[in-house]
Amino acid sequence: MCSGRVDLAFILHAFSIGMDGVYIAGCRLDECKYITHGNYYALNIVLLGKRLLEYIGLDSNRLRIEFMSSAEAFRFVETINDFIHTIRERGPIGEKEGVKQEELRIRLSELAKLVPYIKIATRKKLSVRLKDPQEWEKLFTPEEIETLFREVPSYYIDPTKCQACMTCARRCPVDAILSGKNLIHIIDQEKCIKCGTCLEVCPPRFSAVTKLIGETPPPPIPEEKRVITRKGKED
Ligand code: SF4
Ligand code: SF4
């Protein structure tokens, strides 16, 4: 119902299944009949998406957003035709950009994994309402995107601090934490979407979760060393 529902993940998914272009049509800006103004969010997602496409070596013109009312059929047809023309000129995704299909698949899938992190890291900018189109292109700069990728965090559970309270495992949105009663918890780095929830919810008296930037997390402790012996039980 709302262009604001078009998630960055949907856009990347469309490209990953071979779409050569993605066109999003939203209501006219400032004419949203709800209080949400989701079309501004959609605009910002597209502006971010364009920079991300450039970062992975794709032409940002493959992604477009236009705003119109339901009474503007002519505008819809005109902009769609123009978009089709643009995409036909560019040809199949990756071809003109010189990115091989296998490499493209890997780049898009790596990027898709980082969508939650990217959305959290850019949430303030994603919520702005830029009225002046001159400002749109400046919302996300290539330098910012470089920094975003340089600072991708990893989360690590310190086995000497974890008390197996299970809070993090219950709250992890993607079940990326290997949990178990009286077992030191371990983050499955392949599954982790870097949302940072485990860091937020680990009780301060344990502070077992660390955020690492630019460092590879230490390997997980061996299975046989995961069992926590409680003091009372030792006695
Ligand atoms: S950061 Fe923590 S809570 Fe978020 S996905 Fe990774 S392991 Fe789960
Ligand atoms: S919330 Fe902290 S102490 Fe509790 S299981 Fe997770 S890492 Fe361990």
Tens digits of per-residue pLDDT, 159-186?
999 999 999 999 999 999 999 999 999 9
Number of domains into which the chain is organized: 2
Residue ID of nearest Cα to ligand 2 atom 4: 165
Q: Report pLDDT for 161.
A: 96
Residues 144 and 219 in one domain: no
What is the whole-number distance in angstroms between the Cα of residue 160 and the centre of ligand 1?
19
- Average pLDDT for 206-233: 88
The answer on 38 and 12 residing in a single domain is yes
Judgement on whether residues 77 and 11 belong to the same structural domain of the protein? yes
Same domain as 171, residue 126? no
**Domain match, 125 and 168 both:** no
What is the average pLDDT across 71-79? 96
Burial 85-105 (b: 16+ CB within 10 A, else e): ebbeebeebbeebebeeeebe
| 160 CB-near residues (< 8 Å, 6+ apart) | none
Residue 12 dihedral angles phi and psi, to the nearest 5° = -65, -35
Say if residue 234's pLDDT is above 80.
Answer: no
Among the candidates 150, 178, 201, a domain finishes at: 150
Are residues 127 and 205 part of one domain?
no
Of 127, 150, 173, the position where a domain reaches its end is: 150
Average pLDDT score over residue span 199-210:
97
Distance CA 169, CA 185 (A): 8
Q: Probe ligand 2: pick from 156, 168, 201, max atoms within 8 Å of CB?
A: 168
pLDDT band of 235, cuts 50, 70, 90: very low
Do 40 and 146 lie in a common domain? yes
pLDDT confidence of residue 200: 96
Same domain, 91 and 181: no
Residue whose CA lies nearest to ligand 1 atom number 3? 172
> With bands split at pLDDT 50, 70 and 90, how would you rate the model's confidence at 34?
confident
User: CA–CA separation, 114 vs 152, rounded Å?
Assistant: 8
183 lines ligand 2 (CB under 6 A): no
Residues 201, 143 share a domain? no
Residue 192 confidence (pLDDT): 93
pLDDT one-digit tens code per residue, 9-24: 999 999 999 999 999 9
Quick one: 27 and 127 in the same domain? yes
**Distance of CA 191 from the midpoint of ligand 2 (Å):** 18
Mean pLDDT of 126-142: 93
pLDDT recorded at residue 229: 78
Q: Is the CB of 185 under 6 A from ligand 2?
A: yes
| Span from the CA of 135 to the centroid of ligand 1 (angstroms) | 34
Task: Give me the domain span that covers residue 167.
Answer: 153-234
Whether 81 and 103 share a structural domain: yes
Nearest atom of ligand 2 to the alpha carbon of 163? 3
Atom of ligand 2 nearest to the CA of 157: 7
Section 85-112 average pLDDT: 95
Q: Which residue has the higher pLDDT, 198 or 229?
A: 198
Q: What is the average pLDDT value for the chain, to the nearest integer? A: 94
Whether the predicted pLDDT of 233 surpasses 60: no
Q: Indicate which CATH number applies to the domain containing 174.
A: 3.30.70.20
Same domain flag for 144 and 200: no
Predicted TM-score of the model (pTM)? 0.84
How far is it, in rounded angstroms, from Cα 38 to Cα 44? 10
Report the share of the chain in percent with pLDDT over 70: 98
Domain boundary among 150, 181, 215: 150
